[in-house]
Structure 1
Amino acid sequence: MNTINIYDREDLLEISFEDIRKYHGTLAYMAIGVGFRIIQAAFEALYGEEIPNRKDISILSGHGGPGFRDAFEFVTRAQTRGTYTVDTAYPKAQYDPYRPTSYAYVFTRETGEAVEVILKENFLPPVFYEYLKKGREELFTPEEYLHNEQLKQELGNRALQLPINELLEVTKLN
């Protein structure tokens, strides 16, 4: 498993997916797996071989869920620093048929350069959105709850294993 390198002021941090999982737990396992890969893709597109500094990164997230937020926060501290914004009406990657939410994320560095990272539409199966809806309404049967937890685990693991170009679309914005 690869790690993400980032400076926290002068301290070089090496952050693994397992570090993020320990911070977040397993509530939104799919989101922390995808979030980890989103950060990797965004940093590669914005910084190449250069290691970014936390203080230089801002994030616009189209998804307000705790998994993406925690993955981004653990690595960048963007929420703590006030440079994390959620816009569920972001006009791209609106895949959930039951609510406005976007699977698109924009990372911007201190120079103003920005990159948009979008989760590919076919990654999440329709049953994933059904379970999200049921979870909000608390209508899970015990079997559905168990299947949903297994599905989130499988999707998170799959996100960590897929090549970036099969999981995400990355576009430089400027």
Structure 2
Amino acid sequence: MRTIKIYDRDDLIEISFNDIKKYHGYAAYMALGVGFRVVEAAFEALYGDEIPNRKDISILSGHGGPGFRDVFEFVTRVKTRGVYTVDANYPKAQYDPYRPTGYAYVFTKENGESVEVLLKEDFLPPIFYDYLKKGRKNDFTPEEYEDNERLKQELGNLAYEMPIEDLLIINRLK
């Protein structure tokens, strides 16, 4: 089982995907799988083989959903530390046809070095966005609700399992 390693002060913590599921639950399961991989990709790009310290990381998120927020908070404590910013108008990875929101995330080290991680456009199928819209209005039929829950779980598991280069685009910014 893969884990994300991070220091909290001098204490080394290893966080698994299962740990994140216990923290968040299953409501935004797709975001948990993608978010876990986003953190892995950002840490690899910024730190290589070194293990980061929570206090040295800030995050700008183009998507304010609770799944991504909870992954980032659980691993890095950015929200608690006041260094988590959501900008739904971030100009990249905006694929939702019903509202401006981007699946783009910028991780910045204390020294200013940054990496941008983008979800690839073809990962989420059009029906995913239709279900998001219905969910915002609480307008599901029972069948649609069940299909949406199944789809989120399938996408979350797929994101967790697939190669990062097939899921994400990583750009070094500074």
TM norm structure 1: 0.99
Q: Which residue of 2 aligns with 1:43?
A: 43
Report SS of the residue matched to 1:90.
coil
Percent of paired sites with the same residue: 75
2:152 is equivalent to residue 146 of structure 1: no
Runs of 5+ consecutive residues of structure 1 not aligned to the other structure: none
Deviation at 1:95, TM superposition (A): 0.1
- Cα deviation per residue 1:101-143 (whole Å; 9 max; x = unaligned)? 0000000001110000000000000000000000011110000
Q: How does 1:19-98 map to 2 (within 5 A)?
A: 19-98=19-98
Q: Distance in 1 between matches of 2:84 and 2:137?
A: 28
Q: What CA RMSD, in Å, does the superposition of the two structures yield over aligned residues? A: 0.4
- Cα deviation per residue 1:126-173 (whole Å; 9 max; x = unaligned)? 000000000011110000000000000000000001100000000100
Following TM superposition, the consecutive aligned residue runs of length 4 or more in structure 1 with deviations greater than 6 angstroms are none
The residue type paired with residue 99 of structure 1 is R
Report SS of the residue matched to 1:52.
coil
Q: Distance in 2 between matches of 1:164 and 1:48?
A: 15
Deviation at 1:41, TM superposition (A): 0.1
The residue type paired with residue 22 of structure 1 is K
Q: Which residue of 1 aligns with 2:110?
A: 110
Q: Distance in 2 between matches of 1:2 and 1:116?
A: 22
Q: Distance in 1 between matches of 2:62 and 2:149?
A: 23
Q: Distance in 1 between matches of 2:138 and 2:41?
A: 34
Runs of 5+ consecutive residues of structure 2 not aligned to the other structure: none
Residue correspondences, number: 174
The residue type paired with residue 30 of structure 2 is M
TM norm structure 2: 0.99
Q: Which residue of 1 aligns with 2:123?
A: 123
The residue type paired with residue 6 of structure 2 is I
Deviation at 1:33, TM superposition (A): 0.6
Report SS of the residue matched to 1:95.
coil
The residue type paired with residue 4 of structure 2 is I
